[in-house]
Amino acid sequence: MRNKELNLAIFPGDGIGIEIIQEALKVLKVVSVKSSRKFNIQEGIIGGAAYDLAGNPLPEESMELAGKSDAVLLGAVGGPKWENLDYKLRPERALLGLRKQLGLFANLRPVVVFDSLIDTSTLKSEIIRNINIMIVRELTGDVYFGTPRGVHVENGNRIGINTMIYSEEEIRRIAKVAFEIAQKRGKNLVSVDKANVLESTQLWRDVVTEVSADFPDVTLRHMYVDNCAMQLIRNPLQFDVILTTNMFGDILSDEASMLTGSIGMLPSASLGRTKAMYEPIHGSAPDIAGKNIANPLAAILSVALMLRVSFDMPKEAEMIEKAVTDVLEKGLRTPDICQGGTKIVSTETMGEAVVEKLKEIMP
Ligand code: IPM
Ligand code: MG
């Protein structure tokens, strides 16, 4: 990867996606200049924006662009404007389509708390200090994609149906990813299911246990999802790596994000065998879109994650993270992470502060 030109597809999407991706790109530009790596950046349309322009939330050209890129950087999709569309045309469908068609079955959501944001969290500081959790969420299966699905009428009664389904192959491949990650971290893996009620997750539990035989150095615990939701608030420091299903991972990662102070801080990586996509875990936040107040740090940290995981540039990734840490230590805050004694700044000012710091510390 080192000498190759890097092909990057950018999809800002909807709402605050547009503002935060702009800041992320400024950061990437500094990296490109300083490291002399060439990024071929091509921008595509996706989500509600694509529906408005092309009548399709995931136009073929966008899918093609994503398919031929080394990595995709995405902002966010969705908004009230498109909420009444048929499911097939909704912005969220584009995201699910990208994940599925690129084969991005492993979603990594690192939950790390920055020391300077300890008091921003709604939880007590002693509960969250030093949190460092990696949530490994299965991303292309489960009730998100299972069939049959839909709403139909039986004897004048409307019936809504979705199907929670996992094959052992799907479970095995995501379990391997999680065990390998755990091996490189604290060697402590919690697999989350609802095996006391749902057969598909009893299979999950069985297969994860089978895979664990190949990773004797990793301690495996199984936990029901309701208990995990409670434990995340009660004692989050017990967690190193959490492995879970698509649906449970969606819910638990939003919950876990609040340990860090704001959902506006968390990046994510979605990985397949060959493709990768990076995005903040937050949504398009239509209520604050276009106001220049959104937190761009999750998008900026997504760039760091991309450099580390897809482009073999760990030093550059670390420097972006260091610049973010520094800017937070200086007291700069977007409204979502503001507490007493700190300075509220705009999306742009926050992005530029990271850029300035990065320019200063990158050789
Ligand atoms: C996420 C989001 C998506 C999901 C939505 C926007 C489809 O909530 O990435 O967590 O449910 O996966
Ligand atoms: Mg979610």
pLDDT at 3: 55
Does ligand 1 have an atom closer than 6 angstroms to the CB of 279?
Answer: no
What's the fold here for domain 122-260? Isopropylmalate Dehydrogenase (3.40.718)
Neighbours of 280 (CB within 10 A): 30
Between helix 347-361 and helix 17-35 the angle, nearest 10°, is: 10
CA 334 to chain centre: 20
Annotated active-site positions, please? Answer: 144, 194, 226, 250, 254
Domain range annotation of the chain: 1-105+266-363, 122-260
To test ligand 1's pocket by mutation, which of 92, 255, 302 has the most ligand atoms within 8 angstroms of CB?
92
The DSSP letter of residue 240 is S
Q: What value does the mean pLDDT take over residues 135-143?
A: 98
Q: What value does the mean pLDDT take over residues 279-301?
A: 96
pLDDT band at 17 (very low <50, low <70, confident <90, very high): very high
Which residue's CA lies nearest to atom 6 of ligand 1? Answer: 92
Residues 221-267 pLDDT 10s: 999 999 999 999 999 999 999 999 999 999 999 999 989 888 889 99
Task: Determine if the pTM surpasses 0.85.
Answer: yes
Top CATH class, 1-105+266-363: alpha beta
pLDDT at 119: 87
> Amino acid identity, residue 30?
V
The alpha carbon of 277 and the centre of ligand 1 are apart by a number of angstroms equal to 13
Q: What value does the mean pLDDT take over residues 271-297?
A: 96
Residues 338-362 pLDDT 10s: 877 778 999 999 999 999 999 999 9
If one compares 116 and 136, the residue with the highest pLDDT of the two is: 136
Domains 1-105+266-363 and 122-260 share a fold: yes
Residue 82 has pLDDT above 80, yes or no: yes
